[in-house]
Structure 1
Amino acid sequence: MRGGGIVVVGDALLDVDVVGTATRLSPDGPVPVLDVSSRTTRAGGAGLVAAMLALDGTAVRLVTALSDDAGADDLRRALGAVPVVAGDLRAGTPTKTRVRAEGGHAIARVDDHCGAAPAPLVTDEMVDAVLSADAVVVADYGRGLTGVQRLREALRQVAERGTPVVWDPHPKGSPPVVGCTVVTPNQGEASALHGSVVGDVASAGAVAGDLRDRWQVGAVAVTLGARGAVLATAGSAGVPAHVPAPSVDSADPCGAGDRLASALAVALHGGSSLDEALATAVRSAAWFLGAGGVAVLDLEALRSGTGAGSEPAPPAPVALPGVDALAVARRVRAEGGTVVATGGCFDLLHAGHARTLAGARALGDCLIVCLNSDESVTRLKGPERPIMSQGDRVDLLLALECVDAVVVFDEDTPHAVLDRVRPDLWVKGGDYSADTLPEASLVAGWGGRTVTVPFHPGRSTTRLASALERVG
């Protein structure tokens, strides 16, 4: 039976962040004394992947193994309304406590129950959940779940029928099942799994190709942090593809691999090709970190069930998951800044668009563009539009220095996505009147304002398209 949405399979961990100030050394020894200011508990490992998808509004279930100790109770609370199908872990809940000074500087990490453990027990319900998936993310953290044969057989069947399977491996974990859509080791994992050093794009491409052949999977994408990712596929004729990453500032890379794997699964589930999906996922991971990473996840929304529904939603092509735009907005608000948003089709980006976007960005501290999806543009503009796909339109918008994030919406109006982003300012070109824009009353409902920026006559997508048609 299909219709199970995206299923995350793997080892769920408990992550604890302890943050405080360290201004003195202990009299008992030369170690810093931390005055704790906050303690945060959240799901880690496969649990973090599921949480990210739930906060995106994606229908998701977590297939994992849990203990019966206090750590498991904390983990279930951290997962909130995320549906969990779990077997017996047969060990204590693996817990990673990160101790940081305010400002992000790491002091120490304390691990509990993270050593060797017996293989978890896999239930019939877990197997059924995997077999019902419309897409699968395997988050292997080396705890043994992905090595259980009956679970591997279910994953192999899912991959064999053509369902997207994204496998995020671990050096101490099990090899991906034959036929996976794509395996996503990071630079260090690829080095350990291959047995050679991955130092640059060229070596990453060679290793990705070797691992793809060894595992007999569709593709291997080696992620390289700020340098993006390198993709080796069966059809690449030995020439891997490099996917660059946007330049962002980030002190803590925690969660980047989980963000990439979840975004990759969403894009593949929505019908994107593998190279398009990877480009989307790389951007998503970069913007996730640039917006603050795991620190900006709305844990209270997860615990209350907001955005964590168990009913599958129909897949829609998503060029950049909305969580990144939401994370940008949350970060700017936390810093006391002004969130600005604008929207439109932006089909054939022209000088009028660029000036409007730059003018909008000048009004605040970030600019989020709400972009009509391809289907939405067709309904609004006719069967010949859009001229450029939403993926290309996203790329062009993000290439502009004034654009901080893009979120794609599939409705005819931006009302639903605006209600999620809740900008302080909603900006449109001056060919509109602020008091007649249909979004004005919605934005006013949360205390926001609608403004216009100068209109530049003579620049329009229709006029530009007609001129291009005349010159062939």
Structure 2
Amino acid sequence: MRIVVVGDVLLDVDVQGEATRLCPDAPVPVVDVARTRRRAGGAGLVARMLVEDGHAVTLVTVMSDDDSRLPLERALAGVRVVAGPSGARTPVKTRVQAGQQAVVRVDEGCEPAPVPAVTPAMLAAIRQAGAIVVADYGRGLARNEELRELLGELADDVPIVWDPHPAGAEPVAGVAVVTPNLAEARKFAGTAGATAPTGHAGELASELLRQWSSRAVLVTMGAQGATLVSRRNPEPLVLPAPRTAVSDPCGAGDRLAASLAVRLLEGHSVPDAAVLAVHDAAEFLGRGGVGALQERPAAVRRPSEAAALAAAVRADGGTVVATGGCFDLLHAGHVRALAAARAMGDCLVVCLNSDASVRRLKGEQRPIMNQQDRMELLLALECVDAVEIFDEDTPEKCLAGFRPDVWVKGGDYDGERLPEAALVESWGGRCETVPYHPARSTTGLADALAKVS
């Protein structure tokens, strides 16, 4: 089942080099930069962790249209993203490091942001969740009332892990687990917790459990592990962390929240899931934390969204259906064909031509909508379970990645052997056609729009 990560995304930039001299203008080190790496932060980091572990993941977030969007989208390659407009700049956090010593962190676009709107596609993606992680980084998305209402409705049936932020929103009532660190717990508990030592983490957790009306609160304490208090077990449960050599603690909280969601989705109780998550976070830091994530060899290919979905469906004895196309200006003919294809099995993957692929096939004036918008519209349809974007002129390579049981094309191919037939049949699949609606086409719609523009 799918894990949905909801929250704010950041662009983290790591600048690494050496400092061997001082600047002549001021007594500050001069860093000779050896490398610069850009990675997704915030909710984007949680989603990337889960995708690299092979889980079917959707990231529901908001994004800007500024210059930082492109590197952020590149950092999220391989993650299914359903995004609305943020109404604010992309937050960028740049860490400069000389050798093993942090020199400075430069923040851009981190000023208070307005509460963004949510789109129907964002809400539809959340409704598909088997488990949810809310990664609140204080940028306003978790304050959206429409989003909060939906999360509140789902809390009884879907395990929700809420990772709070000091500048963020309070969790909605009924979520499975809230995961503040000790400093956050002190802040959220108010004056009663302002000076509470580590040994009082249980008291803080109990106060926050009452305050938030969640099912459990897990206060994390770094190397000392975590303390869990829940409605079923109101006595504090101390969960020690394994001894781990830590060079960079960045991302530990994200790893813990992601692991909690996975364990709850697997059916573990909250105490058992918490024990496993604490160990997972320690193991993550022991492997090098986020540095190890970004340094994974390029030759190691992460499981695709479609591959993860196909594996899960087949494990339940289901049938994987796929179809493909440009889907430029989605119209009624597309929707009917997609619905008919979905009815042939237990999930539907759409192989979508990238912008570059569409240009080669249809000319420089196409596509009318970019690939991100086309993907978002497709994912908003109840009959579509996943979208795989491919850059080639034909979808053979894309299909080989998840090997659908049924490959579906429109009825305009009726009577012809489909171009992909030999490939699909090579792994025991079959090809089908669905009714074609000639009165409805993207070209006809584009021509009509040109006349009224």
Opposite residue 31 of structure 2, the aligned amino acid is L
2:33 to 32, 36, 39: 36
Counterparts in 2 of 1:69-468, with a 5 A limit?
69-103=66-100, 105-160=101-156, 162-195=157-190, 196-197=193-194, 199-237=196-234, 239-298=235-294, 306-310=302-306, 311-312=308-309, 314=312
- The equivalent of 1:57 in structure 2 is 54
Counterpart CA distance in 2 for 1:153 and 1:198 is: 34
1:51–1:302 contact (8 Å) kept in structure 2 = no
Q: Could you give the per-residue CA deviations for residues 252-305 of structure 1, whole angstroms, max 9, x where no partner exists?
A: 110000000001111111111111111111011111111111000046679996
Identity of aligned residues (%): 51
TM-score, scaled to structure 2: 0.66
Counterpart CA distance in 2 for 1:129 and 1:303 is: 31
1:58–1:308 contact (8 Å) kept in structure 2 = no
Counterpart CA distance in 1 for 2:28 and 2:243 is: 35
- The equivalent of 1:68 in structure 2 is 65
SS of structure 1 residue aligned to 2:37? strand
Counterpart CA distance in 1 for 2:203 and 2:155 is: 24
What is the CA RMSD across the aligned residues, in angstroms?
1.9
Counterpart CA distance in 2 for 1:301 and 1:65 is: 29
1:8 to 5, 10, 22: 5
Q: Could you give the per-residue CA deviations for residues 81-126 of structure 1, whole angstroms, max 9, x where no partner exists?
A: 10000010111100000011122x1100000000012111210000
Cα distance, 1:111–1:176 mapped onto 2, change above 3 Å: same
Opposite residue 296 of structure 1, the aligned amino acid is A
Opposite residue 230 of structure 1, the aligned amino acid is T
Q: CA deviation at 1:202?
A: 3.3
SS of structure 1 residue aligned to 2:305? coil
Cα distance, 1:192–1:113 mapped onto 2, change above 3 Å: same
Opposite residue 133 of structure 1, the aligned amino acid is A
Opposite residue 182 of structure 2, the aligned amino acid is Q
Opposite residue 314 of structure 1, the aligned amino acid is A
- The equivalent of 1:334 in structure 2 is none
Opposite residue 59 of structure 1, the aligned amino acid is A
Cα distance, 1:304–1:247 mapped onto 2, change above 3 Å: closer
Counterpart CA distance in 2 for 1:276 and 1:200 is: 26
Cα distance, 1:301–1:64 mapped onto 2, change above 3 Å: farther
Q: Could you give the per-residue CA deviations for residues 196-252 of structure 1, whole angstroms, max 9, x where no partner exists?
A: 236544311001011011111000000000000000001224x11000000111121
2:39–2:294 contact (8 Å) kept in structure 1 = no
Q: CA deviation at 1:130?
A: 0.8
Opposite residue 92 of structure 2, the aligned amino acid is T
Q: Which stretch of the first structure deviates more once superposed, 90-99 or 186-195?
A: 186-195
Q: Could you give the per-residue CA deviations for residues 364-396 of structure 1, whole angstroms, max 9, x where no partner exists?
A: xxxxxxxxxxxxxxxxxxxxxxxxxxxxxxxxx
Opposite residue 12 of structure 1, the aligned amino acid is V
Opposite residue 243 of structure 2, the aligned amino acid is S
Counterpart CA distance in 2 for 1:245 and 1:255 is: 16
1:24 to 13, 21, 25: 21
Opposite residue 19 of structure 2, the aligned amino acid is A
Q: CA deviation at 1:134?
A: 0.2
Q: Which stretch of the first structure deviates more once superposed, 300-309 or 212-221?
A: 300-309
Counterpart CA distance in 1 for 2:188 and 2:258 is: 22
Cα distance, 1:125–1:157 mapped onto 2, change above 3 Å: same
Counterpart CA distance in 1 for 2:137 and 2:246 is: 23
Cα distance, 1:289–1:304 mapped onto 2, change above 3 Å: closer
2:7–2:42 contact (8 Å) kept in structure 1 = yes
Counterpart CA distance in 2 for 1:282 and 1:198 is: 25
Opposite residue 312 of structure 2, the aligned amino acid is P
